Chains A and B, each alone.
Chain A
């Protein structure tokens, strides 16, 4: 390894591997329960969605929605729950794999894709030993083949597997954590090496082109949790001054203090997938008012950008017009309820063709979500807001949480049940303040970037599908015989 490689490898160690280790250590309690139930088969199906849409009765809709959510969540010892948040297209890819196949999930994380198809043998691998533990301890009772998940701790750049072996390989939200083009190419080539000729591969990477979030650069540090401390900022400057061969300077994301209600929106969205393919994905909002850096995405030119602009415009306006004080909160209590009602009813009456516009309207007509973001620095306000949620939790899906931003394709999925106020508990916040570097490095991919890498550096792959999904670019390819 040369000096540069060492530098980037260390950067990934600090801004990817260490962060994941910290995240997974918070699952310890979870791990103790050992047997994690994981339900896959209770997704909202088309019939359910139709019923929801056709029925004008709002109460019915909510009730139905809640029961669907109940089905999705299995509780263990009454206080831990696990939400199923797979990307539907990944799930579909895995379900399509021929029975009795051997597949590799490289960067399997906590193993959420390991037990989707009960007739194949998956071998998971991850750089993080704690996440590997979680993956290995998952419930495998639906598997007809193996009684324990097979997981190997290893590095995507140096996979310890024989060549031409796996019938399928998946890489979901992994390649974007590698810090140089060379390393990303090598990682993909390793995936291709272990894939057998005739085998299929699916790769998901986070996209530069997000509907809500604007990245200033392709190489970014995305805050995991609230890391709004001075130490974190200086550390970033120190670490990121060094910019090597590629033009992309690494920028720290400004939006350290974002506060999100996207759990609700996002989980709803997952369920609406089947109903509306073009559904908006991460319905999170940012409080960032710095929208001037459009030059970064000048090459990007499709509807998502327009959406971005729309949202940011409204976002900015509202943020500025709302005073940064908690005084208006009492009056917001009822408004928030209204907003939720509105959200639910619009969500389900939304026509296929224009789901995003619908959502945009909601954003514009309801400043509260945005206000929440802009005043979230004040802990009293946060408490107040939590209380509002608590008071209205009968209106919310069971697993609704206010979540501070770490919004990524690798979203973690563990929440405590029945105690919404605990979601951002002191524990987590303090922890986070101590670990001032709870930001993850991402290289966010531009449109066609992944395809181009594959075309140029993986001649044995034939791309047969390439698409944008939930803020990610994805490629499916076949290894030629």
Chain B
């Protein structure tokens, strides 16, 4: 699971959960694997992602250094190639292989195995 995927996941499907976002990451095993840098893609994704969530996730995994420490990226950051490269690394190069995602409201944990988060819930939880 890359952080771009994490940025989109919520546990709102659980009964009585209001936002279920962002999910806390508990990484047992994470890797960094190089990918081609596509500035246009990153620039476009920045508008979709929740930056605060991305920052927190990167911080949890120890990769936040070099990211603008802010809640929302400003225009200048979005046009700064160095920043975009850093965001590229955080969004697309870090891969959580083993661990959990935790619902911020209920503490329910969703396992990540082999890089795949399992977001299935039991009938009683719906």
Task: Say whether A and B bind each other.
Answer: yes
- Smallest CB-CB separation from B33: which chain A residue? A147
- Find the B residue at minimum CB distance from A6: B123
For A145, list chain B residues within 8 Å (CB): 35-36, 38, 41, 92
State in angstroms the CA–CA spacing of A136 and B115 once bound together: 8
B56 to chain A, nearest CB (A): 16
User: Nearest Cβ in chain B — how far from A83, in angstroms?
Assistant: 25
B4: CB under 8 A from chain A?
A: yes
Q: Does A9 belong to the interface (CB within 8 Å)?
A: yes
Name the segment of A42-50, A149-157, A276-284 touching the other chain. A149-157
Q: Is A436 part of the binding interface, using a Cβ–Cβ cutoff of 8 Å? A: no
A133 within 8 A of B: yes
- The answer to whether A153 touches B120, judged by C-beta atoms less than 8 angstroms apart, is yes
Q: Which of B1, B2, B33, B38 contacts A100 (CB 8 A)?
A: B38
B35: which A residues are within 8 A, CB to CB?
Answer: 145-147
Which chain B residue lies CB-closest to A101?
B44
Query: CB distance B92 to A147 under 8 Å?
Result: yes
B36 partner residues in chain A, CB cutoff 8 A? 144-145
**Cβ of B40 under 8 Å from chain A:** yes
User: A153 and B33: CB pair below 8 A?
Assistant: no
* B16: Cβ under 8 A from any A Cβ: no
Chain B residues with CB under 8 A of A165:
8, 48
**A contact patch SS:** mixed
B1 engages A150 (CB within 8 Å): yes
- Taking CB atoms, residues of chain A closer than 8 Å to B12 are 160
Cα-based distance from A160 to B13 in the complex (angstroms)? 6
Is A162's CB under 8 angstroms from B10's CB? yes
B119 within 8 A of A: yes
Contact flags B79-99 to A (C-beta < 8 A → 1, else 0) = 000000000000011010000
Interface residues on B, range: 35 or more
Chain B residues 29-49 with CB under 8 Å of chain A are 33-36, 38, 40-41, 44-45, 48
Contacting A9 at CB < 8 Å: which of B21, B34, B123? B123
B126 touches which of A150, A158, A162 (Cβ 8 Å):
A158
Q: Please tell me if B106 contacts chain A, counting CB pairs below 8 Å.
A: no
Closest A residue to B15 by CB, please name it.
A1
Q: With a CB–CB cut-off of 8 A, which chain A residues contact B93?
A: 147
By a CB distance below 8 angstroms, the chain B residues around A121 are 4, 41, 45
Q: What's the interface size class on A, roughly?
A: 20 to 34
Q: A146-B92, A147-B35 are in contact. Are A152 and B126 (CB under 8 A)?
A: no
- The residue that A148 contacts in the complex, of B11, B115, B123, B126, with Cβ under 8 A, is B115
Whether the pair B119, A152 counts as a contact (CB closer than 8 A) is: yes
CA distance A27 to B13 in the complex (A): 31
B121 at the interface (CB under 8 A from A): yes
Cβ contacts under 8 Å, B2 to chain A:
146, 148, 150
A153 to B9, CA, bound (A): 11
Give Cα A127–Cα B119 distance, bound, in whole angstroms: 9
Contacting A144 at CB < 8 Å: which of B38, B114, B115? B38
Please name all residues of chain B whose beta carbon is closer than 8 Å to the beta carbon of A459 when the two chains form the complex: none
Q: Is the CB of A148 within 8 A of B33?
A: yes
With contact pairs A99-B40, A161-B9, A162-B10 given, residues A154 and B120 touching in the complex (Cβ less than 8 Å): yes
Contact pattern, A 55-97, Cβ under 8 Å of B = 1, otherwise 0? 0000000000000000000000000000000000000000000
CB distance A158 to B41 under 8 Å? Answer: no
Q: Please report which residues of chain B, range 106-125, place their CB below 8 angstroms from some CB of chain A when the two chains form the complex.
A: 114-121, 123-124
Known A144-B36, A148-B2; judge A127-B120 contact (CB<8 A).
yes
* CB <8 Å contact, A150 and B5: yes
A404 within 8 A of partner (CB):
no
Docked-complex contact A100 and B41, CB < 8 angstroms: yes
- Known contacts: A1-B123, A150-B5, A165-B48. The answer to whether A158 contacts B13 by CB under 8 A is yes
In the bound assembly, the distance between CA atoms of A250 and B48 in angstroms comes to 43
Known: A148-B95, A155-B120. Contact between A161 and B8, CB under 8 A? yes
Chain A window 111-137, contacts with chain B (Cβ cutoff 8 Å), 1 for yes, 0 for no: 000000000010100010100110010
Looking at the complex, which one of A99, A100, A151, A162 makes contact with B21 (CB distance below 8 Å)? A162
**Closest-CB distance, B98 to chain A (whole angstroms):** 14
Whether the pair B126, A129 counts as a contact (CB closer than 8 A) is no
Point out the residue from B4, B34, B119, B124 that lies within 8 Å of A154, measured CB to CB: B119
**Residues in chain B near residue A132, CB distance under 8 A:** 116
A residues near B48, Cβ cutoff 8 Å: 102, 165
CB distance from B43 to the nearest CB of A (A): 8
Q: Which residues of B contact A127 (CB under 8 A)?
A: 120
Checking A5, A151, A161 against B116 with a beta-carbon cut-off of 8 angstroms, the contacting residue is A151
Chain A 25-59 interface residues, beta-carbon cutoff 8 Å to B = none
A133-B120 CB under 8 A given contacts A100-B40, A148-B2 = no
Which residues between 135 and 193 of chain A lie within 8 Å of chain B, taking CB atoms? 136, 144-148, 150-155, 158-162, 165
**Supplied contacts A147-B93, A160-B9, A161-B9, 10 more A-B pairs, CB within 8 Å:** A6-B123, A9-B123, A123-B5, A129-B118, A132-B116, A147-B35, A150-B5, A152-B9, A152-B119, A165-B8
Q: Using CB atoms and an 8 Å cutoff, list the residues of chain B in contact with chain A.
A: 1-2, 4-5, 8-13, 21, 33-36, 38, 40-41, 44-45, 48, 92-93, 95, 114-121, 123-124, 126
**Residues of A participating in the B interface, judged by any CB pair closer than 8 Å:** 1, 5-6, 9, 99-100, 102, 121, 123, 127, 129, 132-133, 136, 144-148, 150-155, 158-162, 165
